[in-house]
């Protein structure tokens, strides 16, 4: 009887305690890892657009083959970066847009572009009539290569891009901003599409950006001369 009692007392804890189970591991870092190119841009002192205004949409067109080259030019980059001066101005343009059209947003299709990518773009158009649309790296490239230019459009409150008459990255006459009256008369673009372009230009100019006559989506923060004097080329 005494031995049975000892066995009962010995086994009692294992019979009464609930079975142990492993607890789920809590994810302390749910943010996606930065790309290698983004970390390189960070080291150069460039600014992630999302850090100055997270409401600005970013959809880099050269991160997919849906661009004039038909190739993926950014192997790992998914973030939009600009020089801090240009990033601050872009945030001001977004603020002006929200004031004029609540719920609307800028959408960035390209921003800082390394010179290595500029060379790949130039190789596609050199020797063709399209070469007027791409800055020649041998001549110092363009403002994208300083983090001082942005390719941008507008989206409505549902996230749908506003029609501008051409796709972003259309290398042709229909994208020229100094021919819009003639383009409307010829039925190439509509009056509403021109109005959308004008809205984009208005908010970007308000923030200090400059237009490019041949591309409705392209805006420079400063002149090429100023860029070469004050800013560093991104290689």
Q: Which of 17, 79, 180, 215 is catalytic?
A: 215
What local confidence, expressed as pLDDT, does residue 115 receive? 96
Greatest distance between any 2 Cα atoms in the chain: 109
What local confidence, expressed as pLDDT, does residue 32 receive? 61
Residue 21 lies in a domain: no
Number of Cα atoms under 13 Å in the Cβ half of residue 57: 18
Residue 91 lies in a domain: yes
pLDDT, tens digit (0-9, with 9 covering 90-100), for 178-215: 999 999 999 999 999 999 999 999 999 999 999 999 99
Residue 4 lies in a domain: no
pLDDT, tens digit (0-9, with 9 covering 90-100), for 1-38: 444 444 443 444 444 444 443 434 434 445 567 889 99
Nearest C-alpha neighbor of 222 from the set 121, 83, 115, 113? 83
Whole-angstrom Cα distance, residue 18 to residue 13? 9
What local confidence, expressed as pLDDT, does residue 117 receive? 97
Catalytic residue at 215?
yes
The helix (run of H) or strand (run of E) holding residue 3 is helix 2-16
Whole-angstrom Cα distance, residue 135 to residue 132? 7
Q: List, as one string, the DSSP characters of 156-209.
A: -TTSPBPP-SS-TT--SGGG-GGGHHHHHHTTSS-HHHHHHHHHHHHHHHHTT-
Task: Specify the CATH number for the domain of residue 167.
Answer: 3.30.1380.10
Residue 67 lies in a domain: yes
Residue 101 lies in a domain: yes
Residue 74 lies in a domain: yes
Q: List, as one string, the DSSP characters of 54-100.
A: TTSEE--GGGSS-STT-S---SS--S-EE-HHHHHHHHHHHHHHHHH
pLDDT, tens digit (0-9, with 9 covering 90-100), for 56-79: 999 999 999 999 999 999 999 999
**DSSP 8-state secondary structure symbol assigned to residue 69:** T
Task: Domain of residue 172: give its range.
Answer: 34-230
Residue 98 lies in a domain: yes
Say what the pTM is.
0.85
Helices and strands, counts by H and E, the chain: 8, 7
What local confidence, expressed as pLDDT, does residue 193 receive? 98
**DSSP 8-state secondary structure symbol assigned to residue 79:** S
Kindly tell me if the per-residue pLDDT of 87 is higher than 50: yes
pLDDT, tens digit (0-9, with 9 covering 90-100), for 103-157: 999 999 999 999 999 999 999 999 999 999 999 999 999 999 999 999 999 999 9
**DSSP 8-state secondary structure symbol assigned to residue 135:** -
The domain tally of the chain equals 1
What local confidence, expressed as pLDDT, does residue 218 receive? 98
Residue 199 lies in a domain: yes
Q: Who's near 111: CB < 8 A, 6+ residues apart?
A: 49, 58, 60, 80, 81, 82, 144, 147, 149, 150, 151
Which residues contribute to the annotated binding site for Zn(2+)? Answer: 144, 151, 218
Q: Which residue(s) pair with 149 in the sheet? A: 220
- Token pair belonging to 223: 């002149």
Check: CB of residue 55 under 8 Å from CB of residue 96.
no
Which residues contribute to the annotated binding site? Answer: 144, 151, 218
Alpha-carbon distances, residue 140 vs 81, 84, 216, 220 (angstroms) = 20, 21, 23, 15
């Amino acid at each position: 009887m005494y031995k049975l009692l000892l066995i009962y007392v010995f086994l009692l804890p294992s019979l009464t305690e609930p079975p142990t189970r492993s607890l789920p591991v809590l994810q302390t870092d749910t943010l996606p890892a930065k790309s290698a190119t983004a970390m390189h841009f960070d080291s150069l002192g460039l600014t992630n657009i999302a850090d100055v205004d997270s409401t600005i949409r970013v959809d880099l067109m050269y991160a997919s083959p849906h661009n004039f080259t038909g190739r993926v030019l950014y192997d790992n980059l998914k973030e939009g970066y600009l020089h801090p001066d240009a990033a601050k101005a872009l945030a001001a343009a977004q603020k002006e847009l929200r004031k004029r059209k609540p719920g609307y947003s800028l959408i960035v299709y390209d921003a800082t572009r390394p010179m290595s990518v500029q060379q790949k773009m130039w190789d596609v158009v050199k020797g063709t009539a399209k070469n007027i649309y791409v800055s020649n790296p041998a001549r110092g490239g363009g403002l994208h290569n300083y983090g001082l230019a942005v390719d941008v459009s507008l989206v409505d409150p549902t996230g749908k891009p506003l029609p501008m008459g051409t796709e972003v990255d259309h290398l042709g006459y229909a994208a020229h901003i100094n021919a819009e009256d003639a383009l409307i008369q010829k039925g190439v673009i509509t009056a509403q599409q021109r109005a959308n372009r004008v809205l984009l230009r208005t908010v970007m100019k308000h923030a200090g950006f400059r237009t490019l006559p041949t591309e409705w989506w392209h805006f420079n923060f400063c002149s090429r001369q100023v860029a070469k004097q004050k800013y560093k080329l991104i290689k």
